[in-house]
Amino acid sequence: MDIALDLGTANSRVRISPEENAIDEPSVIAYNTEDNEILAYGHDAYQMLGRTSAKIKVVFPLEGGVIAESGLVEEMVNIFLGEVCTSRVVMPRVVACIPGEITEVEKRAVVGAISSFGVRRVLLIEAAKAAAFGTGLDIMGPHGVMVADLGAGTIDVAVMSLGGVSVSKTLKQAGNAMDDEIIKYIRKNHNLIIGKAMAKACKEAIACVIQFPEERTFRVKGRDAVRGLPRAIEVTSTEIMQAIRDVGINIIDTITDALEDTPPELLADIHSDGITLTGGLSKLYGMKELLEKQTGIKIHVAKDPQDSVVKGCFRATKYIEEAEAQRTSLNPLMTVY
């Protein structure tokens, strides 16, 4: 049995067939601080954010695409894989994605968390490469392909050809950083303290990097920073655009930096074919148009961009045998563990 695993900062996805995800849950886990008992995970744990008692802690155990709390990630991986791998007679092989710029220690942490379930093999693939596979792009031929995976924890940009990565850039400031900026902006300008869940809901409802044709508003609820009492206010899309502006600029700079480092022949291919955006943040209003304006290159947004990486991980499972045999010719998968 071959399993595709996308351990994302905000959401984790598991796929065991080409048609649909077997699991698509927030990467959240809730546990009792007194005895470390796991109380909830995924959607159930996300509903508990900011609503728990003192002895219950709700955490995102991954930060910036890498493991922050290894024990909790192991628990979460064991739960997810246990749901799709009901029979332990045949140990599964797992293809998992990682950010492009990651240290060997961080790599080993991912492998260790997955191996704790008792798998036969763990194979790694860069997130941008998996995203390219997931959108159906051909990265195995002598032709330049550029993908920018805009996620919650990281922005992964890569130029690929002949199954390998020619240029790679990773920015550890993405969707979650926008949520943090919204929290700061509302506290500074409206004296209102809101939580991460409220900031994310606001971002998904009215955030933009180019003005909407008509102003949009969203009602945020929180605690008055002065009086300490509950309060609700209306914020506009213009305000939220101002709040996330710096993060948006950093994303554009990361993509343009990758273009500047790309060899001329590959750059010519990209100019002809365009850049493909994947990841949930690629659906942010105005992102496609702003990137086209800044780069002068056609931008394509993948269909179901949030699923591109896990879909690509599953498509990469067909290269497992080659990787296990240690054939070095044009294999997109990284070291076998």
The model's pLDDT over 143-172, given as tens digits with 9 standing for 90+, comes to 999 999 999 999 999 999 988 899 999 998
| Predicted pLDDT of residue 130 | 94
Q: What confidence score (pLDDT) does residue 164 get?
A: 87
Q: Is residue 224 part of a domain?
A: yes
pLDDT of residue 88: 67
pLDDT at position 57 is 93
Closest of 11, 7, 23 to residue 85, by C-alpha: 23
Please check whether residues 212 and 269 belong to one and the same domain: yes
Residue 332 lies in a domain: no
Would the pLDDT of 239 be above 80?
yes
- Does any domain span residue 335? no
* Percent of the chain whose pLDDT exceeds 90: 74
Same domain, 70 and 208: no
Residue 241 falls within a domain, yes or no? yes
**The token pair that represents 295 in the structure block:** 């780069």
pLDDT at 220: 96
Distance (Å, whole) CA 64 – CA 263: 28
Do 163 and 98 fall into the same domain?
no
pLDDT score recorded for residue 269: 95
* 107 assigned to some structural domain: yes
pLDDT at 61: 93
Q: pLDDT confidence of 120, banded at 50, 70, 90?
A: confident
Q: Which pLDDT value is given to residue 63?
A: 87
Total tally of structural domains belonging to the chain: 2
Average pLDDT, stretch 241-263?
95
Q: What is the mean predicted confidence (pLDDT) over 67-72? A: 89
Pair 286, 320 in one domain: no
Q: Is the pLDDT of residue 294 over 90?
A: yes
The answer to whether residues 262 and 119 belong to one domain is: no
Query: Residue 177, class by beta-carbon neighbours within 10 Å (0-12 exposed, 13-18 middle, 19+ buried)?
Result: buried
Q: Is 336 part of any domain?
A: no
| Cα diameter, the chain | 66
Confidence class for position 329, pLDDT limits 50, 70, 90: low
281, 149: one domain: yes
Whether residue 327 has pLDDT greater than 70: no
Tokens 């605690």 -> residue: 223
Looking at the structure, do residues 153 and 79 belong to the same domain, yes or no?
no
Residue 84 near residue 14, CB atoms below 8 Å: yes
Cβ contact 60:9 at 8 Å: yes
DSSP string covering 175-238: HHHHHHHHHHHHHHHH-EE--HHHHHHHHHHH-BSS--SS--EEEEEEEETTT-SEEEEEEEHH
Question: What's the pLDDT at 51?
Answer: 86
Residue 184 sits in the same domain as residue 56: no
pLDDT tens digits, one per residue of 191-215: 999 999 999 999 999 999 999 999 9
Residue 154 in domain = yes
Q: What is the pLDDT, as a whole number, of residue 90?
A: 73
Phi, psi of 108 (to 5 degrees): -60, -35
Q: In terms of domains, do 208 and 255 share one? A: yes
Indicate if 154 and 249 belong to the same structural domain: yes
Residue 164 is classified by DSSP as: E
pLDDT category of residue 246 using cuts at 50, 70 and 90: very high
Q: What is the pLDDT of residue 322?
A: 80
- Average pLDDT in the 266-294 region? 95
pTM: 0.89
Q: What is the pLDDT of residues 86-106, one digit of tens each?
A: 776 678 899 999 888 888 898
> How confident is the model over 11-68, as pLDDT tens digits?
999 999 888 899 999 999 999 998 989 999 999 999 998 888 889 999 999 988 788 8
| Residues 120 and 164 occupy one common structural domain | no
Q: What is the pLDDT of residue 337?
A: 75
| CA-to-CA separations, 291 to 32, 297, 300, 303, 325, in angstroms, rounded | 45, 8, 10, 18, 41
Q: Which domain CATH number covers 15?
A: 3.30.420.40
**186 and 318 within one domain:** no
Query: Domain containing 206: what range?
Result: 138-302
Is residue 328 pLDDT above 80, yes or no? no
In Å, what is the CA distance from 123 to each residue of 5, 39, 261, 268, 337?
A: 10, 30, 28, 32, 6
